[in-house]
């Protein structure tokens, strides 16, 4: 979900206005995915690196996330959208975690579009988290080194049960994958 700041700068607006417009775009994209019958939409909304942004911008983003969950939670249920979240959810402010958990619970029986939010996420922290859990289980004797296959490893990832993405869109138009863990490299297409 990048490019919000650049969009705002182009329009001589502040960065928060860019993020507000970004949330409008999220609503449109979620509706379009639902209408097109897309099964899973992952929004890489907030990276582990994003915590380094100015305090007021981080606070505004957390506020926008909470507001989005409150406003859209009911609609998700109505539209059979199941919310999921990946990332270091424990890093989020407590009130945002609570709202997120409520929405996850509320939509857990929905079986239409899966809307997966990557929050305080990075591909590397996902791998580290998986390795830590594996080592822990290995200490308990629950897993042997020779049992660690690609399939078994994927069971320890936050994306467990979610297939590799077929299409990766960087909304700003950039091509690097910026610490998003995806199974394939992006293909550069001429537009
Ligand atoms: C990237 O734009 C956007 C973000 C870092 C945050 C996006 C998150 C929200 C708007 C919070 C609400 C989330 C949802 C899912 C509703 P940028 O600031 O990096 O823009 P730039 O790349 O042009 O600088």
Per-residue pLDDT tens over the stretch 3-29: 999 999 999 999 999 999 999 999 999
35 assigned to some structural domain: yes
Domain that holds residue 79: 4-119
Q: Which residues are catalytic?
A: 2, 50
Neighbouring residues of 113: CB distance < 8 A, sequence distance ≥ 6: 30, 33, 34, 38, 39, 40, 41, 79, 80, 81, 82
Mutate to test the pocket of ligand 1, among 61, 84, 100 (most ligand atoms within 8 A of CB): 61
Model pLDDT, residue 182: 62
Is residue 62 within a helix (H) or strand (E), and if so which, with residue range? Answer: helix 55-78
51 assigned to some structural domain: yes
Model pLDDT, residue 15: 95
162 assigned to some structural domain: no
171 assigned to some structural domain: no
Residue ranges in the chain modelled with pLDDT below 50: 185, 187, 190-191
- Taking the CA of residue 3 as reference, the ligand 1 atom at the shortest distance is 23
The pTM assigned to this predicted structure is: 0.91
Model pLDDT, residue 179: 74
**Count of domains for the chain:** 1
Model pLDDT, residue 180: 73
130 assigned to some structural domain: no
- Helix 15-36 to helix 55-78 angle (10° resolution) is 20
CATH of the domain at 12: 3.40.1180.10
54 assigned to some structural domain: yes
């Amino acid at each position: 979900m990048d490019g919000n700041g650049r969009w705002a700068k182009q329009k001589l607006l502040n960065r928060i206005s860019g993020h507000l417009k970004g949330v409008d775009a999220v609503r449109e994209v979620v509706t379009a995915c639902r209408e097109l019958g897309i099964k899973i939409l992952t929004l890489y909304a907030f990276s582990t690196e994003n915590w380094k942004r100015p305090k007021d911008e981080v606070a505004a983003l957390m506020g926008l996330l909470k507001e989005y969950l409150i406003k859209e939670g009911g609609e998700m249920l109505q539209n059979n959208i199941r919310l999921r979240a990946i990332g270091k959810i424990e890093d989020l402010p407590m009130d945002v975690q609570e709202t997120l958990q409520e929405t996850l619970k509320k939509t857990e029986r929905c079986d239409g579009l899966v809307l997966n939010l990557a929050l305080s996420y990075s591909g590397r922290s996902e791998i580290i988290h998986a390795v830590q859990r594996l080592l822990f289980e290995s200490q308990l004797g629950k897993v042997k080194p020779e049992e660690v296959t690609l399939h078994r490893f994927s069971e320890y990832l936050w994306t467990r049960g979610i297939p590799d993405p077929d299409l990766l869109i960087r909304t700003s138009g950039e091509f690097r994958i910026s610490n998003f863990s995806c199974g394939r490299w992006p293909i550069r297409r001429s537009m």
